[in-house]
């Protein structure tokens, strides 16, 4: 079931649940009986995972003016692993 929003001139917004693709262009307001036209709203992205919302927001920000790259990213440093095993001291070093 999908949520469709209709806006009555007198009573404001009302939401109606219908199967996808079966929503009429107008819906009768339950309070006053006037026809309320359907209003189109954005999808409910607030229910999406936070990582997905951040990715969508980042893509939206860079749509018109992408960030300019002036240099390649710095090389990643490899951390030397240290061991406390005395037998490892006898091994050859790279």
- The answer to the question of residue 91 being in a domain is no
DSSP secondary structure, 64-82, as one string: TSPPPP-SPPPPPPPPPP-
Provide the pLDDT for residue 92: 87
DSSP 25: S
- The answer to the question of residue 13 being in a domain is yes
- The answer to the question of residue 26 being in a domain is yes
How does pLDDT run along the chain (94 residues), one tens digit per residue? 788 899 998 888 898 888 888 888 999 999 899 999 998 877 665 677 888 888 888 888 888 878 888 899 888 887 777 788 888 888 887 7
The backbone torsions φ and ψ at residue 72, rounded to the nearest 5 degrees and listed phi first, read -70, 160
- The answer to the question of residue 85 being in a domain is no
Domains in the chain, number: 1
The pTM is what? 0.45
């Amino acid at each position: 079931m999908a949520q469709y929003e209709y806006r009555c001139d007198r009573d404001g917004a009302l939401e109606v649940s219908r199967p996808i693709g079966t929503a009429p262009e107008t819906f009768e307001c339950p309070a006053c009986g006037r026809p309320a036209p359907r209003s189109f709203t954005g999808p409910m992205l607030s229910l999406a995972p936070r990582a997905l919302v951040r990715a969508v927001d980042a893509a939206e920000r860079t749509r018109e003016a992408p960030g300019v790259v002036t240099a390649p990213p710095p090389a990643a440093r490899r951390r030397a692993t240290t061991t406390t095993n005395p037998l490892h001291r006898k091994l050859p070093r790279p």
